[in-house]
Structure 1
């Protein structure tokens, strides 16, 4: 793939193209992820479902410098970690475009990244560079999870919802937090040059976030690493589930003990902890690993990014519904039958 220094495109590693800069045929539209065509060009050739042409990432320094020049930035404007990766030749021109698109002008993504602690901010930017739709996917997952959970609470607690709103709220908050952690943990991410004190930490950081994540410089993911990643993520999410389940179980049983009549069964704290641990570590881990693989395959297959996002949106909404039903079964939560309230 050839990229002109005054225009053209790049590839951030997920085969999602961004223009290289002004002066080309895009009139400076260098980072609009959701707009694939200029005005008047609807991409009729091949139709909406045409296949994407695979493009190679460009790590040549002159292309990366050209991107910096177009944005009127220098190497000193880059944060320390990203600057080190740039000096080592680990940053492609497309990655630089996406990074500058996030940080060089006011956007929602920049606002979020600057509001987060430094370590989390770097991880967030790394995920946005690896997948520009990460924030969209995360917000979609949260909305679908909250919607399914609230609907179940209203459906099963019925006229008792006013008396049991605190129990319902704990359920919704717990499942929402767990969903966010699963999506965050398994999302593809670009990271460079982190060095830790212990060898185990250095080994773990070289594993992919999911078994379908694409390799990149300093992060070559062979089959062994992908298998190790699956089991590591299973253990990690299992610990998250145990912690979240224990906290929810303690609070739920404490509040339930002060109520005379409950519309939903309340398992003991151990059931909450073990149920959430097994659910996240085994079932949710497997579902979201496969979902990440499908996301990558769809984005790589379709040239029109809107088509890929429609498929991803429908699949994630269905996944949220399946996940909510499965979670209730793993925890043993079910509605009780009562006669009419006097």
Structure 2
């Protein structure tokens, strides 16, 4: 029998590939690259250990090595991406991300192939810059729709069956605006795009957010980051004005068909447009710019990707929740208290009965004897009736027998 690496008295009875258990490391095969010793698990710092920064490699030989590993060649790449690789603008890490999306059937590849060419290139650029972009987009959509639906159910209550169309318009508008904000401010990698007008060429060289990292052909100085913040504020404000105007006109049109009083106030078209424009241009722009900076900080700081995703998820959910509260406040949307106070309105509007107007004898003067045997009780009862009559309360009249007076009539 053949014993490979056996030791410690096994005398070759078993085939043990990979080392025996008679060495100095107590049978540790040292299958790790760092050859950890006893007691060294290779996870110094635990879950919150800091990440070691690795520089991106743009050398052509590393790009070819990645392509060979994926059994691809340079001719298998799209024209624009192949040109960027030949110019030395794509790193080996970016090539791995691109091949992970396009070289195997994944959800990201299905989405990229379903979109138009311009949108597909933008989507792939965002996935290369941030592989968790699709996860963040879906998380934002789920949180936005969930909080919007809960607000509609909480404020419309039983009227949701009659006002479902108004609620649906509000939810779809909020979801669309959130998707536009996340898409517009997400970091993206673009290479060699040339437009006809100089303004377009200038705008494409600006970062999507002020915390985006620079890369070849895209050096983001402080001036460009400030210009990007102002440009994104104007862009999102224009999106908010358009979406608010459409949603306001549609909501007012649907509200005009309702015969009953609405459970939630519907602002006018101008107020809705201005509210959405200010909300997206100011609050959404600032909050999501800071959120992108926090994502980059946590991704570069934590070595365990799950920790960064956990804190990023918590921050995004809290941001969506606070944004929903502020959005309704800025739009002036609130529940109508008169619509939901049905019991109170019934108490004020129901017809009065004789039992409610005239109080019962036993409830008002139960301590007064009905048969006034004692003169004190009888006097107290008369005083009580007089006081009730002075206070405007109708006291029940006690039935008394008519006194019959007999007179002696003499015949004239």
TM band (smaller chain):
0.7 to 0.9
CA drift at 1:75: 1.2
Q: Which residue of 2 aligns with 1:59?
A: 58
Q: Which residue of 1 aligns with 2:276?
A: 276
1:131-186 alpha-carbon deviations (Å, 9 max, x no partner) = 00000000000000001100000000000000000000000000000000000000
Q: Which residue of 1 aligns with 2:407?
A: none
Matches within 5 A, 1:71-110: 71-110=70-109
Q: Distance between the aligned counterparts of 1:198 and 1:291, measured in 2?
A: 32
DSSP 3-state at the match of 2:155: helix
Q: Which residue of 2 aligns with 1:9?
A: none
CA drift at 1:91: 0.4
Matches within 5 A, 1:33-44: 44=43
Q: Distance between the aligned counterparts of 2:183 and 2:292, measured in 1?
A: 11
DSSP 3-state at the match of 1:63: helix
Q: Distance between the aligned counterparts of 1:157 and 1:236, measured in 2?
A: 33
Matches within 5 A, 1:83-162: 83-162=82-161
Q: Distance between the aligned counterparts of 1:233 and 1:151, measured in 2?
A: 30
CA drift at 1:25: 7.3
Q: Which residue of 1 aligns with 2:266?
A: 266
CA drift at 1:70: 1.1
CA drift at 1:95: 0.4
> CA 1:225–1:42 in structure 2 vs 1: closer, same or farther (change >3 Å)?
farther
TM-score scaled by structure 2?
0.72
DSSP 3-state at the match of 1:45: coil
Q: Distance between the aligned counterparts of 1:189 and 1:242, measured in 2?
A: 25
Q: Which runs of 5+ in 1 are unaligned?
A: 1-23, 27-40
CA RMSD of aligned residues (A): 1.5
Q: Distance between the aligned counterparts of 1:73 and 1:308, measured in 2?
A: 32
TM-score scaled by structure 1?
0.87
> CA 1:65–1:291 in structure 2 vs 1: closer, same or farther (change >3 Å)?
same
DSSP 3-state at the match of 1:57: coil
State the structure with more CA Rg.
Answer: 2
Q: Which residue of 1 aligns with 2:247?
A: 248
Q: Which has the higher relative contact order, 1 or 2, with Cα contacts under 8 A spaced 6 or more apart?
A: 1
Q: Distance between the aligned counterparts of 1:177 and 1:42, measured in 2?
A: 47
* Pairs aligned (count): 305
CA drift at 1:45: 2.0
Q: Distance between the aligned counterparts of 1:42 and 1:91, measured in 2?
A: 35
Q: Which residue of 2 aligns with 1:340?
A: 342
Matches within 5 A, 1:179-328: 179-260=178-259, 261-328=261-328
Q: Which residue of 2 aligns with 1:30?
A: none
Q: Which runs of 5+ in 2 are unaligned?
A: 1-30, 34-39, 347-412
Matches within 5 A, 1:22-41: none
Q: Which runs of 4+ in 1 moved over 3 A?
A: none
DSSP 3-state at the match of 1:161: helix
